[in-house]
Structure 1
Amino acid sequence: MSLAERLAGGETLFTAWSSVPDALTVEIVAGQGFDAVTLDMQHGGHHEDSVVRSIAPVLAAGRHAIVRIPVGRFDMASRALDFGAEAVIAPMVNSVDDARRFAAAMKYPPVGQRSWGPTFGMPRRGPAGAQDWLHAQNGATTAFAMIETREALAALDDILAVPGIDGVFVGPSDFSIAWSEGERIDPGLGAMMEAIADIAARAAQAGKRAGIYVVDPALCGRYAAMGYELFALGSEHVYMAKGVETLLGAARQSME
């Protein structure tokens, strides 16, 4: 079942967040209990070569492959899909024009302008024939437009109305900077929670999906109640730190 189908079916899904551009590290992350793995090209170290190599172990582990592209690199959205990703997160989609260019790169005609060439994607996760792949992909791929600024919030309904935009993804750290006019970074900022809830509600009204990056896992339940369905948790740095904390804590406690 595709990521799109699972979200449409009402599932709540968790994605790992990978910043280390190494396929062996991604393989380890994909072997954990997440539903998906997101390869971060915006703030993480992933690049085109690491993405094409890292998607393979994600798919081999039975996880969904997601890529966050760099700002404005809508050409990379098409490449990520051709490499085998099911979903792409595009940061800083602040206008209808941004949304249209993103959707054009994500969808084949007549919805978008994605060109043909699933060199790695179709052998890795496609059906038997090219025609089946072509006809299925617009529905099987998920385009998440990131909502991180006041400009994006003001244009939200128009962004959601763009054909080919399947959902929104909130970056609460950037949103807190925008909401506080650059005064602070606080992904749990209470003053912006009403706006974050409104984003999910408006996405649902438009029949679109909603995802969010979660710094504090304790907020997942609150976000789920708002209508968010896809949650991104941590990174390799966090996973290692938490793991070492648990291991050392148990070892030291055993000596007391």
Structure 2
Amino acid sequence: MAKPYQMAQQLSRGDTLLTAWSSLPSVDLVDQLATTEFDAVTLDMQHGGHDEKSVWDGLLAIINRQKCAVVRIPVGRNDMASRALDMGADAIIAPMINSAEDAKAFADSMKFPPLGSRSWGAPRAQSLRDVEGGNAFLKSANKDTLSLAMIETREALAALDDILSVEGIDGVFVGPSDLSIAWTNGDSVDPTREDMMEAIALIAKKAKAANKFAGIFSVDPSDAPRFTQMGFQFIALGFETGLISAGATQFLAAAKGGKETKLDGGY
């Protein structure tokens, strides 16, 4: 079932979108994630196990479930950014964007001329998204698909204004774990560090001032409301492995009489 692009429009009208984060390259599991109340599913090629084949299959499953479909590419794989768009993705997250030059290279792969040099050839995206080929797709693709540059190092923080000024970059996405490593000069990893929160809030503030979107990975789901108040509109709530573990804990607690809530186990 074709589904028009929706993520850019939803963020533009001020919606907050919560995404499940898929690391396991199973199309059945991706499809199951897309049946939940998450607004989006993100396929992780950087630290997750997704490859081109699982992204191809996973995007179809997500789009068929009427959810926003996002891909995080490996570091420096701007060629994969273009391919994931050709496969039908709403948005691409690019890790380790540390300078305006990095941002320009990423944006160049994401946008058709005159913004970039994305190569023409997206019949699958046109079909899945119910967009006519030729000029109709050419005129709509640049605004309908989003390029999100990850901010996760001190270099990226220092270059944030320059990164946000790059035409063709639609927003930024904070990686708090790597940011915490940089923040402590390699001493520790703690994505919930309180002394980083002012800097994280500033990222969202600057993105908004530049008329661009801000997203973040919320390792602790209970931090999501705080990030929303900061201005983050696209929030990841942890890996699917965490969802499975949390669900198993809840089911076992109910089975052992720890909770009275009736759970749907299927069948």
The alignment's TM-score, normalised by the length of structure 2, stands at 0.94
User: Aligned match of 2:257 in 249, 253, 256?
Assistant: 253
Moved more, 111-120 or 163-172: 111-120
Runs of 5+ unmatched residues, structure 1 = none
Q: Determine whether 1:63 maps to 2:63.
A: no
Aligned to 1:161: 165
User: Aligned match of 2:34 in 30, 36, 53?
Assistant: 30
* Structure 2 Cα separation of the partners of residues 8 and 140 of structure 1: 11
CA drift at 1:128:
2.7
Q: SS in structure 2 opposite 1:243?
A: helix
* Structure 2 Cα separation of the partners of residues 105 and 126 of structure 1: 23
Matched letter for residue 111 of structure 1: L
Q: Determine whether 1:237 maps to 2:241.
A: yes
Q: SS in structure 2 opposite 1:145?
A: strand
User: Aligned match of 2:230 in 226, 236, 243?
Assistant: 226
Aligned to 1:188: 192
Runs of 5+ unmatched residues, structure 2 = 261-267
User: Aligned match of 1:72 in 60, 71, 76?
Assistant: 76
Q: Determine whether 1:148 maps to 2:148.
A: no
Matched letter for residue 173 of structure 1: S
User: Aligned match of 1:132 in 131, 136, 147?
Assistant: 136
Q: SS in structure 1 opposite 2:188?
A: coil
Aligned to 1:116: 120
* Structure 1 Cα separation of the partners of residues 255 and 6 of structure 2: 41
* Structure 1 Cα separation of the partners of residues 52 and 160 of structure 2: 30
The alignment's TM-score, normalised by the length of structure 1, stands at 0.98
User: Aligned match of 1:49 in 19, 35, 53?
Assistant: 53
CA drift at 1:109:
0.3
**Equivalent pairs: percent with the same residue?**
53
Q: SS in structure 2 opposite 1:88?
A: strand
Aligned to 1:199: 203
Contact 1:16–1:34 (Cα < 8 Å) also in 2: yes
Alpha carbons of structure 1 residues 254 and 232: separation in structure 2 relative to 1, 3 Å: closer
Q: SS in structure 1 opposite 2:248?
A: helix
* Structure 1 Cα separation of the partners of residues 238 and 259 of structure 2: 30
* Structure 1 Cα separation of the partners of residues 212 and 133 of structure 2: 29
CA drift at 1:130:
2.5
Q: SS in structure 2 opposite 1:128?
A: coil
CA drift at 1:25:
1.1
Contact 2:123–2:133 (Cα < 8 Å) also in 1: no
CA drift at 1:119:
3.1
Aligned to 2:265: none
* Structure 2 Cα separation of the partners of residues 16 and 254 of structure 1: 27
Contact 2:112–2:118 (Cα < 8 Å) also in 1: yes
1:214-252 deviation per Cα after TM superposition (whole angstroms, max 9, x unaligned): 111111111111110110012221111011111110000
Aligned to 1:87: 91
Greater than 6 Å deviation, 4+ residue runs: none
Q: SS in structure 2 opposite 1:62?
A: coil
Alignment RMSD (CA, Å): 1.3
Matched letter for residue 174 of structure 1: D
